[in-house]
Amino acid sequence: MSDISIRTVGVAGRITLTRPKALNAMTYDMCLAIEDALDRWRDDAAVKLVIIDAEGDRAFCSGGDIAELYATGRKGDFAYGQRFWADEYRLNAKIFTYPKPIVSFLQGFVMGGGVGIGCHGSHRIVGESSQIAMPEVGIGLIPDVGGTLMLALAPERLGEYLGTTAARMGPSDAIFAGFADSYTPQLKWPALIEQLESTGDVTLLNTTSETPETGPLQAQLDDINRHFGGESLGDIRRSLQAEDSDFARAALKSLDRNSPLSMACTIEALHRLRGPSLTIEKALDLEYRFTARAMEHGDFLEGIRAAIIDKDRNPAWQYADTDVPPSAVSKMLRPLGDNALKLGGTDQ
C-alpha cells in the first residue's frame, strides 16, 4: 500500500505513514492495515516494540480522510461511516491497551485521527514543530478516537477548553495536557529510531529528552478554569461574554466558529466521563453514540461541506443562536442499544 509502510526492522515493528502531500490523512485501508500489523506483532517474540512515524515535515497525521464519509453520507448511506468509526475506535483501543511499547514520533500537525493512532501509545515523542489538537467541533463532530478520555484527564478544565475551542498545543502544552510524554529535538529522531530498532530499549528515550519552552496554555489555566467550569455551553459563553479581556474575546471567537450542538455534547461527554471509573472503553462508547448519529442528526455533513467541499467557511449549524436544549444533547448521547460499539473484532 503506497499510503503506509509496514515492516520489521531489527526488533521493531515499524509503521510509517507515507502520504505527506495529504498531510498523512488516514484512510480506512490504512486504519485496517495498522490494526492487522499490531495483531501480528502482539505475540511475535521477535518484535520487542512498535515505532509509529510519518514522512514529511508538515504533519504526523492531520486526521481522517473524510471525503468518502461525506460522499456516502450525502447519499443517505450512514452505515459506511458507522462501520468506519467502529473499526477506527477498535484500533484506538488496541493501541491504548497494547502489551508492548508503542513509540510514536509526532511532528507537525497531529489532529483528530492522528491523535487516535499517535497519542494512545506508551511513549509519545513531540518535537519543535508539533501542533496537537482535537478540532472535530469545527466539522460537526465531537473529539473522538479516544480523545475524550485524554480531555477528561487533562488538568482541571483544560479539557473543556481544548475540546470546544479546538486550540492547538505546542510541545510543552501537549505534555502538560497529557497528549505527549516527552520532547526530543527532531534532528535527533533518526538516530534515536535506529537505536530503538536495534536494541528495543525504550529507556534510550530518556537520554535524548529535553525540556521545551513553556507554552501559553499553562499561563492561561486560571482563565480557563474560571470560564470553562460551567455545566453547559451556555454557562461557558455567558461567563466569557461577561468579561472584557483578550482571553475571553479570543475564546468566544473560537467558539463562534464551531458547531453549537457538537460543543454542547463535548462538554456533557467530558462531565460524564470524568472520575475514577473512566476507561478507554467508556470514552469510545460515548463518542460512538454521537458519531453514529452525526450524519443523520448532527452537523457533520454541513460542517464538511463548508470546510472541505464548498470551502465557504460559512456552515449553517443547528442551534446557530448557540442555545442548545438539553434534550438535543441527550438525543445525541443516548445509548445505541443493539447498535452499540463493539470492540471485539470486525465480525461483531
pLDDT of residue 345: 53
305-310: Cβ within 8 A, 24+ apart: 305/70, 307/138, 307/139, 308/66, 308/67, 308/70, 308/139, 309/70
> What one-letter code names the amino acid at 150?
M
pLDDT digits (tens, 9 = 90+) for 239-268: 999 999 999 999 999 999 999 999 999 999
Q: Is the pLDDT of residue 66 over 80?
A: yes
pLDDT of residue 347: 39
pLDDT averaged over every residue in the chain: 96
Mean pLDDT score, 102-121: 97
Question: pTM, whole model, 2 decimals?
Answer: 0.96
Count CA atoms closer than 13 A to 93's CA, side-chain side: 20
DSSP E strands: which ranges in 178-245? 182-183
pLDDT of residue 346: 44
Burial class from Cβ neighbours inside 10 Å (0-12, 13-18, 19+) for residue 277 reads exposed
Q: Is the pLDDT of residue 327 over 70?
A: yes
CA–CA separation, 203 and 217 (whole Å): 29
Domain-wise residue ranges, the chain: 4-339
Q: Is the pLDDT of residue 64 over 90?
A: no
Say which CATH architecture domain 4-339 belongs to: Alpha-Beta Complex (3.90)
- Residue 312's pLDDT band, with cuts at 50, 70 and 90, is very high
- Order of strands across the sheet that contains 109-111: 59-61, 109-111, 131-133
pLDDT of residue 348: 38
pLDDT digits (tens, 9 = 90+) for 2-38: 899 999 999 999 999 999 999 999 999 999 999 999 9
